[in-house]
């Protein structure tokens, strides 16, 4: 038994912070301010981030190789920590306005973050499952936390039922793989696949496909995307940003480690289905996003489209697609969290104020919000020199290098479709007059910090991506 | 060239951005904002004159080259340089930008943002002209779209949102496919030469099989053809022009369209010479269709701005015909005509804007007999119009003559057809001029119009000066272009498998059509 518990440190740090926040919350009177809980959470996240940076470059494992804290896990841990911090920053005022319980909110965000970190570090299917459930249950609750909102309750219920269903697939897949290989540890499974390169029992491939279904559900790929628009629309806006950025990144991180790397001998079996799914996911996501009148719903559908771009990287394979995948998740998450943070300032307390019309005049009334939102939209649409362009460039480059020129062309044509609806937000902000009379936009200093950070990140990843690319490369290299 | 950290071209790219940043923090007072913007654009022009002075006219190679590692892992570098082809387009850009800013005096609404976008647009255009790394070029090519999108969409006419979106979507439809082609090209280069690079000058040396060249050429050509715009990809242009504010139209017609023709000459043709030779006759034919179609449609327009917009389609057809003649006269004439068109059409849009500011209409039928009321306006319009139709003694003549001379060697038939476009051009311009300027002053609304003021004359003066100078003394311009054009033609001939020399590289089928 090795007793190295170091790899647990960042996760435990986040979990302990969550517990501290939860317990401290109990001792505050109903009407006392709870703002400092957010700062406790941020400090905890900051410490966890510092620990990740300190551990960078090491390759530690614990519990008989079922948990590996390599650069890949650390890279994603840092991404999750960053997204969680931005989510908390953009939630502070939002929660207060709507009388949503603050203490639980922050604690749940932290629990979800710890679950994601576990997912990215898991080297065993059961440990991965543990992380997935920790994350999912926390996010189910977060989705329904705005109890006064019927939409949020509905979304939470929907998410929970569908998510539980998908989890069932995943667990069944794990069982089948265990039956075929006699192991849940990824290293053992990989060894088995290499030693016996052929005549796998059918249920091994079937188990792989069930895993695929589970991942596709969490990542929001067609045909397992139906929950996304309703859940994204109903959830409190900061939670939606968190889901779109961090949950998606966690799903793809696990996907990359488990399917793209360790189970890569099965590639040939799911290459074609994935190729088809990638195309349908992009195209359907973009086409449906075009028809939306709510910006929040549009962003939900566009997140499906972005899952499609990420699938291009997966189809391109580990050699060419790995680095773009890892980089794009960071880029996409940053601009998405930023966009949803802007959305929190537009929405009114009463509810549904996220249509394009509600953005009218924002650009000139609130120059900072308008500029930031334009930047996020342009970046999502893939205009250079912003993060979204750099990410797409690497993905399409990976596709071309792996011989998938056709997929790259379909990808760019999809980008073109997305330009239309992303620019509509800019049209509303700058080119349409007025908007509803008396419509005001929330003044929220903490959100502004989150937005400013996302803006800086979006520009930095686009303009000077050399250093972040080195990190991404180091992260993905750790898997090989 | 030695490895420079920050050279003159980087300063050229940085100045407008600095001006825009300064504007961001400037007080919202009209005079202060204009002062800053004009100072930035004026300094930029002076700096480009300095670059003109630094430029060695005897060499056809890239000059003032700067290289900086950007994303070494992908072979992407920051490389800029200038040669006899881009030099004049850079000067045209830096000249037209301050003119366009000065012409925006009547903009009251959100002036600060307007001027910021004008300056950012300038950097985008200049960057695309001097970029020598395909990735960098693509970045500037796309960056340019955003300020133009805002200029049309916020400060445009009634259908501005539709026009702005159409402009962006059309342009991006082409350019995104070009992006895939760029990636593919660099990948192929990495496979054959073991060096990952987007460096244009290195990629020139790559020789691909014809079928791959064709696909790549088509992807690049689509992107550039939309920008030019080559018939039948021109439908975005009238919308964008009509809805854009005056300064937007000036920049759009004066500079942006030239990026398409420049792209053909700098990228599509030398990178894929075999495909360019094979497709040359098709593109030349489309160019001629564009010349005639643009002229005929222009003739039918009741709106002066639309007339000028369609005349652009016709004039850019001439440029394309010259470039695809693939000989010295044709290409030189093409470049010369790019500058001519930038000057004369820019001036026409300015004049249309001035009359629109006074009357808030651009319908030809609303005018007539303006010479009585607006003698200076009428005189300037006359000179510009003659420049546009190619009257000898003015710049347009030199360009059109060289183009026809060059293309005649390749295809007399197409040249003859194109020459009818010259006649049609004279017809629609003179007819418009007659209806607007001559005749009785019958519309009472025109009786109290004020003639051009000092600012308006002042901003037209440099353009008029160049129109005359380039008409009577073309030598200094042609001389500096020649080495670079010869080098480009040599590249096309050297890499191409078909034995072509710059002077009689006529694809057989076109000649067959001609007889």
The pLDDT mean for chain A works out to: 88
What gap in Å lies between CA A340 and CA A371, rounded to an integer? 14
Concatenate the DSSP letters of all residues of B252-307 into one string: IIIIIHHHHHHHIIIIIHHHSHHHHHHHHHHHHHHHHHHHHHHHHHHHT-SBHHHH
**Phi-psi category of residue B29: left, alpha or beta, with phi > 0 → left and psi -120 to 50 → alpha:** beta
Q: Decide if pLDDT at B41 tops 70.
A: yes
Does the beta-carbon distance from B184 to A400 stay under 8 Å? Answer: yes
pLDDT of residue B287: 93
| Total domain count, chain A | 1
Q: Is A473 exposed, middle or buried (0-12, 13-18, 19+ CB in 10 A)?
A: middle
Contacts of A346 (CB under 8 A, 6+ apart): A295, A353, A354, A358, A359, A362, A369, A441, A442
Q: What is the 3-state secondary structure (H, E, C) of B71-91?
A: EHHHCEEEEEEECHHHHHHHH
All residues of chain B having their beta carbon less than 8 Å from the beta carbon of residue A415 are: 172, 176
A143: in domain: yes
Q: Is B64 helix (H, G, I), strand (E, B) or coil?
A: strand
- Residue among B168, B183, B198, B223 with most chain A CBs within 10 A, to mutate: B183
A1: in domain: no
Exposure b/e, B59-68, CB count within 10 A at least 16 = b:
ebebbbbbbb
pLDDT of residue B369: 82
What gap in Å lies between CA A16 and CA A110, rounded to an integer? 9
What gap in Å lies between CA B145 and CA B132, rounded to an integer? 19
A107: in domain: yes
For residue A407, give the chain B residue with the closest CA. Answer: B180
Stated pTM of the model? 0.90
Concatenate the DSSP letters of all residues of A74-112 into one string: HHHHHHHHHHHHHHHHHHHHHHHHHT--HHHHHHHHHHH
**N-to-C CA span, chain A:** 25
Q: What percent of chain B has pLDDT over 90?
A: 43
Does the beta-carbon distance from A397 to B74 stay under 8 Å? Answer: yes
Of the pLDDT bands very low, low, confident and very high (cuts 50, 70, 90), residue A478 is: confident
Cross-strand partners of B131: B80
Q: Decide if pLDDT at B503 tops 50.
A: no
Contacts of A184 (CB under 8 A, 6+ apart): A124, A125, A126, A174, A177, A178
Does the beta-carbon distance from A400 to B180 stay under 8 Å? Answer: yes
What gap in Å lies between CA A211 and CA A224, rounded to an integer? 13
A243: in domain: yes
All residues of chain B having their beta carbon less than 8 Å from the beta carbon of residue A397 are: 74, 183, 187
Q: Is B82 helix (H, G, I), strand (E, B) or coil?
A: strand
Does the beta-carbon distance from B71 to A469 stay under 8 Å? Answer: yes
Cross-strand partners of A355: A294
A321: in domain: yes
How far does Cα B131 stand from its chain's mean position? 16
Chain B residues whose C-beta sits inside 8 Å of any chain A C-beta:
69-74, 110, 113, 135, 138-139, 142-143, 145-146, 149-150, 153-154, 160-161, 164-165, 168-169, 172-173, 176-177, 179-180, 183-184, 187
Concatenate the DSSP letters of all residues of A350-403 into one string: SS---BGGGGTTHHHHSHHHHHHHHHHHHHHHT-TTSHHHHHHHHHHHHHHHTT
For residue A371, give the chain B residue with the closest CA. Answer: B113
pLDDT digits (tens, 9 = 90+) for A145-201: 988 888 889 999 999 999 998 999 999 999 999 988 888 888 888 888 888 777 778
pLDDT digits (tens, 9 = 90+) for B417-454: 999 988 998 899 999 998 888 888 888 888 888 888 88
What gap in Å lies between CA B456 and CA B105, rounded to an integer? 10
- Residue among A309, A386, A393 with most chain B CBs within 10 A, to mutate: A393
All residues of chain A having their beta carbon less than 8 Å from the beta carbon of residue B150 are: 426, 430
Q: Decide if pLDDT at B510 tops 80.
A: no
Phi, psi of B473 (to 5 degrees): -140, 70
Handedness of CA B349, B355, B356, B357 (dihedral sign): positive
All residues of chain A having their beta carbon less than 8 Å from the beta carbon of residue B70 are: 466
- Residue among A320, A423, A463 with most chain B CBs within 10 A, to mutate: A423
**Domain of residue A225, residue span:** 6-477
User: Taking every pair of C-alpha atoms in chain B, what is the biggest distance, in angstroms?
Assistant: 74
Chains A and B: how many Cβ contacts under 8 Å? 81
Q: How far is A287 from chain B (nearest CA, A)?
A: 15
A324: in domain: yes
ipTM of the complex: 0.88
A414: in domain: yes
What gap in Å lies between CA A190 and CA A196, rounded to an integer? 10
Q: Decide if pLDDT at B497 tops 50.
A: no
A211: in domain: yes
């Amino acid at each position: 038994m090795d007793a190295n518990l170091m790899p647990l440190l960042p996760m435990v740090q986040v979990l302990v912070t969550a517990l501290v926040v939860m317990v401290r919350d109990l001792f505050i009177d109903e009407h006392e301010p709870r703002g400092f809980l957010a700062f406790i959470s941020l400090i905890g996240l900051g410490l966890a981030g510092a620990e990740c940076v300190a551990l960078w470059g090491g390759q530690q494992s614990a519990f008989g190789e079922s948990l590996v804290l390599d650069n890949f896990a650390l890279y994603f841990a840092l991404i999750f920590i960053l997204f969680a911090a931005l989510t908390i920053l953009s939630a502070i005022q939002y929660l207060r306005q709507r009388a949503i319980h603050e203490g639980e909110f922050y604690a749940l965000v932290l629990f979800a973050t710890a679950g994601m970190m576990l997912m990215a570090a898991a080297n065993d299917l059961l440990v991965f499952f543990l992380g997935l459930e920790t994350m999912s249950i926390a996010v189910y609750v977060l989705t329904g936390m705005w109890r006064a909102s019927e939409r949020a309750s509905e979304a939470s219920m929907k998410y929970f039922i569908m998510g539980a269903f998908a989890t069932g697939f995943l667990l069944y897949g794990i069982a089948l793989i265990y039956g075929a290989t006699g192991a849940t540890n990824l290293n053992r499974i990989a060894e088995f696949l290499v030693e016996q390169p052929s005549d796998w029992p059918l249920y091994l491939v079937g188990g792989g496909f069930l895993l695929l279904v589970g991942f596709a559900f969490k990542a929001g790929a067609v045909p397992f995307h139906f929950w996304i628009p309703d859940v994204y629309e109903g959830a409190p806006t900061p939670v939606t940003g968190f889901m779109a950025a961090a949950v998606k990144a966690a799903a793809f991180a696990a996907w990359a480690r488990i399917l793209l790397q360790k189970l890569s001998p099965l590639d040939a079996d799911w290459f074609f289905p994935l190729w088809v799914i990638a195309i349908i996911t992009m195209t359907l996501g973009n086409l449906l996003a075009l028809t939306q009148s709510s910006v929040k719903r549009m962003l939900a559908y566009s997140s499906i489209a972005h899952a499609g771009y990420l699938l291009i990287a997966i189809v391109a394979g580990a050699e060419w697609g790995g680095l773009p995948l890892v980089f794009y998740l960071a880029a996409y998450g940053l601009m998405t969290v930023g966009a949803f943070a802007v959305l929190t300032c537009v929405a009114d307390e009463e509810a549904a104020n996220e249509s394009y019309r509600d953005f009218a005049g924002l650009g000139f009334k609130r120059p900072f919000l308008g500029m930031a939102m334009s930047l996020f939209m342009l970046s999502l649409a893939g205009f250079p020199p912003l993060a979204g362009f750099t990410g797409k460039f690497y993905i399409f480059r990976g596709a071309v290098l792996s011989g998938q020129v056709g997929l790259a062309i379909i990808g760019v044509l999809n980008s073109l479709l997305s330009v239309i609806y992303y620019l509509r937000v800019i049209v509303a902000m700058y080119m349409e007059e007025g908007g509803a009379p008396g419509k005001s936009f929330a003044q929220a200093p903490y959100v502004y910090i989150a937005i400013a950070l996302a803006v800086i990140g979006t520009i930095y990843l686009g303009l000077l991506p050399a250093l972040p690319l080195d990190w991404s490369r180091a992260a993905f290299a750790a898997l090989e | 060239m030695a490895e420079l950290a920050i050279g003159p071209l980087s300063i050229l790219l940085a100045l407008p951005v600095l001006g825009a940043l300064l504007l961001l923090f400037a007080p919202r007072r009209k005079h202060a904002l204009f002062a800053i913007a004009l100072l930035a654009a004026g300094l930029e022009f002076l700096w480009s004159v300095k670059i003109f002075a630094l430029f060695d006219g005897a060499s056809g190679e890239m000059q003032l080259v700067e290289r900086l590692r950007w994303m070494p892992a992908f072979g992407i570098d920051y490389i800029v340089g200038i040669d006899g082809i881009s030099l004049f387009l850079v000067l045209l850009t830096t000249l037209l930008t301050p003119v366009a800013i000065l012409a925006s005096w009547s903009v009251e609404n959100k002036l600060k943002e307007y001027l910021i976008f004008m300056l950012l647009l300038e950097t985008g255009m200049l960057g695309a002209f001097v970029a020598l790394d395909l990735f960098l070029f693509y970045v500037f090519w796309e960056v340019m779209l955003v300020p133009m999108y805002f200029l049309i969409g916020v400060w445009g006419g009634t259908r501005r949102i539709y026009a702005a979106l159409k402009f962006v979507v059309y342009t991006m439809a082409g350019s995104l496919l070009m992006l895939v082609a760029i990636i593919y090209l660099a990948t192929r280069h990495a496979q054959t030469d073991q060096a990952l690079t987007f460096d244009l000058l290195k990629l020139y040396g790559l020789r691909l099989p014809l079928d791959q060249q064709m696909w790549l050429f088509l992807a690049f050509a689509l992107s550039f053809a939309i920008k030019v715009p080559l018939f039948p990809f021109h439908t975005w242009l009238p919308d964008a022009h009509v809805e854009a504010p005056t300064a937007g139209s000036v920049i759009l017609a004066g500079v942006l369209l030239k990026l398409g023709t420049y792209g053909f000459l700098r990228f599509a043709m030398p990178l894929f010479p075999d495909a360019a030779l094979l497709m040359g006759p098709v593109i030349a034919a489309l160019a001629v269709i564009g010349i005639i179609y643009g002229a005929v449609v222009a003739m039918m327009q009741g709106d002066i701005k639309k007339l000028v917009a369609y005349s652009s389609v016709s004039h850019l057809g001439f440029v394309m015909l010259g470039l695809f003649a693939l000989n010295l006269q044709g290409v030189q004439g093409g470049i010369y005509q790019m500058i001519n068109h930038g000057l004369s059409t820019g001036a026409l849009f300015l004049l249309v804007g001035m009359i629109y500011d006074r009357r808030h209409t651009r319908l030809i039928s609303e005018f007539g007999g303006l010479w009585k009321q607006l003698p200076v306006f009428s005189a300037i319009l006359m000179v510009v119009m003659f420049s546009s139709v190619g009257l000898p003694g003015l710049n347009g003549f030199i360009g059109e003559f060289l183009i026809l001379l060059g293309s005649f060697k390749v295809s007399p038939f197409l040249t003859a057809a194109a020459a009818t476009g010259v006649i049609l051009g004279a017809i629609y311009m003179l007819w418009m001029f007659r209806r607007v300027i001559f005749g009785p002053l019958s519309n009472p609304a025109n009786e109290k119009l004020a003639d051009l003021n000092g600012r308006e004359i002042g901003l037209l003066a440099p353009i008029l000066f160049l129109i005359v100078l380039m008409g009577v003394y073309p030598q200094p311009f042609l001389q500096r272009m020649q080495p670079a054009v010869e080098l480009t033609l040599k590249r096309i001939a050297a890499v191409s498998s078909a034995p072509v020399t710059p002077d009689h590289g006529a694809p057989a089928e076109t000649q067959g059509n001609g007889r």
